C-alpha cells in the first residue's frame, strides 16, 4: 500500500510496493514533493513502465559484459568488431556511467564529438549502434524505461563509388595477375563470390555437370586466426558458372580430393586476402590501368555483367546471396535503371510487331490519337467484324 508519512526528523517518507511485493521508499523535505513522486510511481506501475531503480544503477561497463554474452548467434567477425568499438570508443566515455544516467542529449553530444575527432561516418554510425543495442537490451531487461539513444541524428552514410569492369578489363586484369592466379580473378568477376567464400570453396562444391558452385562456407580472419563459418547472413546458395569458367575450373581441380580447397596459397595453405593483394592483386591492378581496384569491386563487376546479360533483380540477388531483392536494388539500383531503358526498347519493338510494321502511331500532346491513326484503327476494326461475319455458321 502506498503512503506518505512524516518522520521524527521532519522529513516526509513516501513508500510503495513494486509488482513483486518488495517495498521501496524515498524521503523528501516537503510533503507535496513526496506525493508527486509517489503519484508518478503509481502511474508508471499502472502503465507497465515501472522499473526497479536499483537495477538501473549498474554501469555501462558492467552491462556491456552481460550484453556481449548474448551475442553468441553472431558471426566471429561481427563480435570482434563490436568488441573493438566498445574498447576504443564506447567504454572510454560511458564505462562508469550508470544506465539510469545516460541521457538523450548526452548521447547526441557524444555522437557529434566522435565526428569532430575525425572518425568516418560509417565508424560513428557503427559505434552508436553498439551503445544503442546495449540500451535496447536494458529496456527489455526492465532496467530502463526507454532507450535514450533512440532518435539521435547520425552523420549521413557515404555511399562509395563503385567500379564496374567490362569483359575486356576483366581479361586484361586477369592476364596481369599471371597464369597461376588468373582463374581467381575470373571466378570472382563472373560469380560474385566474396573473398572468404572463394578461399573456403572446396572441390566437392563445384558441380561441373550443372555448372554451379554451391556456396556453403566462408573463412574470415579474426585477430590473426582463421575462422570457418557459414556465408554472410547464413545465406547458402547455388551460383551459376559460364561455360568457359566451368571448363577452366574443371581442368584446375583435376587430381584434387573432394575436401581439398579449389584455390590455395602458393605454399598450400588458405588463400589470404591481405597476402594475395600484396603479392599479386595490387601490382596487377596498376599494370592493367586499374589502380585502387579492390577484390570486392569484382563482386560489383559480377553484378554488372549479369545485369548487362539480361539477369533480373531476383537472379542477381540469388547469385550474390543478398537477404532480399530490396537489398540488391539498394546496392545496384543504377544498374537496373539501364535495364529499364532496355525494357522500354523491347516494349517499343513489341508494339511495332503487333501492328505489322515499324510505323509509329502519332499521338498529340493531349493524348488524343490523330485523325489518320483513328481511320487506320477504324479499318482494323472493320476487318475484324468482316472476319467474324464470314466465320459464322448458317442458321
Residue 351 is predicted with a pLDDT of 82
**Which residues are CB-contacts of 115 (< 8 A; sequence separation ≥ 6)?**
121, 124, 155
Measured CA to CA, the distance from residue 297 to residue 291 in angstroms comes to 12
Measured CA to CA, the distance from residue 81 to residue 88 in angstroms comes to 11
pLDDT at 71 over 50: yes
Hey, which of 215-229, 258-272, 379-393 has the most confident mean pLDDT? 258-272
Question: Which of 6-15, 119-128, 155-164 is least confident?
Answer: 155-164
Residue 383 is predicted with a pLDDT of 54
Tens of pLDDT, residues 142-188: 888 889 999 999 999 877 778 899 999 999 999 999 999 999 999 99
Report which of residues 374 and 339 the model is more confident about.
339
Residue 393 is predicted with a pLDDT of 52
Measured CA to CA, the distance from residue 85 to residue 83 in angstroms comes to 6
pLDDT band at 34 (very low <50, low <70, confident <90, very high): confident
pTM metric for this prediction: 0.69
Tens of pLDDT, residues 218-235: 998 887 788 888 888 777
Residue 271 is predicted with a pLDDT of 94
Long-range contact pairs involving 70-75 (C-beta distance under 8 Å, separation at least 24) = 70/137, 75/220, 75/229, 75/232
Percentage, residues of the chain above pLDDT 90 = 52
Residue 102 is predicted with a pLDDT of 95
Q: Are 20 and 108 in contact (CB under 8 A)?
A: no
Hey, which of 53-57, 123-127, 268-272 has the most confident mean pLDDT? 123-127
Q: Where are the domains of the chain?
A: 3-50, 60-140, 167-322, 362-389
pLDDT at 114 over 80: yes
Fold equal for 60-140 and 167-322: no
pLDDT band at 395 (very low <50, low <70, confident <90, very high): very low
Residue 238 is predicted with a pLDDT of 93
Enclosing H/E stretch for 351: helix 325-355
CATH number of 60-140: 1.10.150.130
pLDDT band at 84 (very low <50, low <70, confident <90, very high): very high
Which class is 167-322 in CATH?
mainly alpha
Neighbours of 170 (CB within 10 A): 21
Report which of residues 90 and 46 the model is more confident about.
90
Amino acid at each position: 500500500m502506498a503512503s506518505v508519512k512524516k518522520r521524527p526528523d521532519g522529513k516526509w517518507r513516501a513508500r510503495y510496493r513494486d509488482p513483486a511485493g518488495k517495498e521501496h521508499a524515498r524521503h523528501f523535505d516537503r510533503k507535496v514533493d513526496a506525493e508527486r513522486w509517489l503519484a508518478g510511481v503509481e502511474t508508471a506501475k499502472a502503465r507497465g513502465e515501472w522499473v526497479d531503480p536499483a537495477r538501473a544503477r549498474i554501469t555501462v561497463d558492467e552491462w556491456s559484459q552481460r550484453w556481449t554474452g548474448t551475442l553468441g548467434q553472431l558471426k566471429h567477425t561481427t563480435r570482434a568488431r563490436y568488441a573493438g568499438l566498445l574498447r576504443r570508443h564506447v567504454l572510454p566515455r560511458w564505462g562508469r556511467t550508470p544506465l539510469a544516467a545516460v541521457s538523450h542529449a548526452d548521447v547526441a553530444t557524444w555522437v557529434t564529438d566522435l565526428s569532430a575527432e575525425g572518425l568516418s561516418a560509417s565508424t560513428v554510425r557503427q559505434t552508436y549502434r553498439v551503445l544503442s543495442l546495449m540500451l535496447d537490451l536494458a529496456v527489455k531487461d526492465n532496467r530502463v524505461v526507454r532507450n535514450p539513444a533512440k532518435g539521435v541524428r547520425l552523420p549521413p552514410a557515404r555511399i562509395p563509388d563503385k567500379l564496374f569492369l567490362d569483359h575486356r578489363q576483366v581479361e586484361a586484369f586477369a592476364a596481369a595477375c599471371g597464369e597461376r592466379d588468373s582463374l581467381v580473378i575470373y571466378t570472382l568477376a563472373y560469380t560474385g563470390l566474396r573473398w572468404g567464400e572463394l578461399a573456403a570453396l572446396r572441390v566437392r562444391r563445384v558441380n561441373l555437370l550443372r555448372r554451379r558452385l554451391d556456396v556453403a562456407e566462408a573463412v574470415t580472419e579474426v585477430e590473426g586466426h582463421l575462422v570457418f563459418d557459414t556465408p554472410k547472413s547464413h545465406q547458402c546458395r547455388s551460383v551459376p558458372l559460364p561455360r568457359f569458367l566451368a571448363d577452366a575450373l574443371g581442368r584446375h581441380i583435376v587430381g584434387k580430393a573432394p575436401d581439398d580447397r579449389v584455390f590455395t596459397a602458393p605454399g598450400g595453405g588458405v588463400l589470404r586476402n591481405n597476402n594475395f593483394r600484396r603479392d599479386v592483386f595490387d601490382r596487377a591492378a596498376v599494370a592493367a590501368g586499374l589502380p585502387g581496384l579492390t577484390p570486392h569491386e569484382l563482386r560489383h563487376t559480377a553484378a554488372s555483367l549479369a545485369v548487362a546479360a539480361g539477369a533480373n533483380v531476383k537472379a542477381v540477388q540469388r547469385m550474390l546471396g543478398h537477404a532480399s531483392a530490396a537489398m540488391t536494388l539498394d546496392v545496384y539500383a543504377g544498374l537496373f535503371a539501364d535495364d529499364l531503358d532496355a525494357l522500354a526498347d523491347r516494349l517499343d519493338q513489341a508494339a511495332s510487331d503487333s501492328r505489322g510494321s515499324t510505323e509509329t502511331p502519332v499521338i498529340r500532346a493531349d493524348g488524343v490519337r490523330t485523325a489518320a491513326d483513328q481511320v487506320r484503327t477504324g479499318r482494323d476494326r472493320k476487318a475484324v467484324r468482316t472476319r467474324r461475319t464470314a466465320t459464322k455458321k448458317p442458321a
